[in-house]
Structure 1
Amino acid sequence: MTTTEKDRDVLARTLWGEARGESLIGLIAVAWTIRNRVNDGKAKSWWGEGYTGVCQKPYQFSCWNKNDPNYAYLGGAKPIPFREFAQAQIAADQVIAGKVPDPTGGATHYHATTMVKPPTWIVGAKRTTTLGRHVFFKDVP
């Protein structure tokens, strides 16, 4: 699959919106979750096509929802802090290029550990790991 500069930028913005403040491994884990969706056979019919399509599919990554406080930053209305965005770009580049292994064990989903009520989709899903403030899952029904 060909990855464009827009894919790289949208992935890095998604990492910033979803996982800023995490370590590099935390950003890489979220990036791998997205890559696992991109590479899943369901991508064209369900999650979108390519990194841009997957990241910006409505209601998949809350940072892209227009009512989310991160949206103004992701869309460019507000500047993303340089160092934070540079870290997200590094994680995006490493995952797109396949330079780092998947620390999530094939996860296609995650949720923040700070959620008061876990999402309903975890019922029947296989928990793969917890990294930083995210819990990762695969085989989500």
Structure 2
Amino acid sequence: MSVTEKDRDVLARTLWGEARGESLAGQIAVAWTIRNRVNDGKTKSWWGEGYAGVCQAPYQFSCWNKSDPNYPSLIGAKAIPFRELAQARIAADQVIDGKVPDPTGGATHYYAITMKKAPDWAVKAKETRRLGGHVFFKDVS
């Protein structure tokens, strides 16, 4: 699969929207959940096609919901602090380019530990890792 500049930019913006308070390692873990969806092995994936398609699939990553307070920054209506976006871009590029291994054990989902209640999908899923402010899962049905 060829990766476009748009894919790289959308992934970096998603990492900023979903994990800007995380370390580089935490952002890499979130990026790997997206890469695992991109590389699910299906010809026409339910998740979407490519990094931009997966990140911007409706209701998958809340920062892309039009009602989310991060949305205006993601679409360029508000500025994202340069240093924050630069770190997210480093994480995005390292994951896309295969320079770092998957620290999530194949996770396709995560949630922030700040949530008051775990999402319903997490009940039967396999937890693969806790890193920073996120819990990662695979085998989500």
Q: Residues 59-138 of structure 1: matches in 2 within 5 Å?
A: 59-138=59-138
Contact 1:43 1:54 in 2 (8 A): no
| 1:29 aligned onto 2:29 | yes
Structure 1 residues 43 and 72: CA distance shift in structure 2, 3 A: farther
Q: Secondary structure at the match of 1:47?
A: coil
Q: TM-score, with normalisation over the residues of structure 2?
A: 0.98
| 1:17 aligned onto 2:17 | yes
Moved over 6 A (4+): none
Aligned residues: 141
For structure 1, the 5+ residue unaligned runs are none
Cα distance in 2 for residues equivalent to 1:21 and 1:56? 21
For structure 2, the 5+ residue unaligned runs are none
C-alpha deviation, 1:43, in angstroms: 7.2
Q: TM-score, with normalisation over the residues of structure 1?
A: 0.98
Contact 1:43 1:49 in 2 (8 A): no
C-alpha RMSD of matched pairs (Å): 0.9
- Residue type of the partner of 1:121? W
Cα distance in 1 for residues equivalent to 2:43 and 2:107? 14
CA offsets 1:19-70 (integer angstroms, 9 cap, x no match): 0010000000000000000000357341100000000000000000000000
CA offsets 1:55-100 (integer angstroms, 9 cap, x no match): 0000000000000000000000000000000000000000000000
Cα distance in 1 for residues equivalent to 2:46 and 2:74? 23
Cα distance in 1 for residues equivalent to 2:138 and 2:130? 12
- Residue type of the partner of 1:20? R
Cα distance in 2 for residues equivalent to 1:43 and 1:22? 33
Report the structure, 1 or 2, having the larger helix content. Answer: 1
Structure 1 residues 100 and 53: CA distance shift in structure 2, 3 A: same
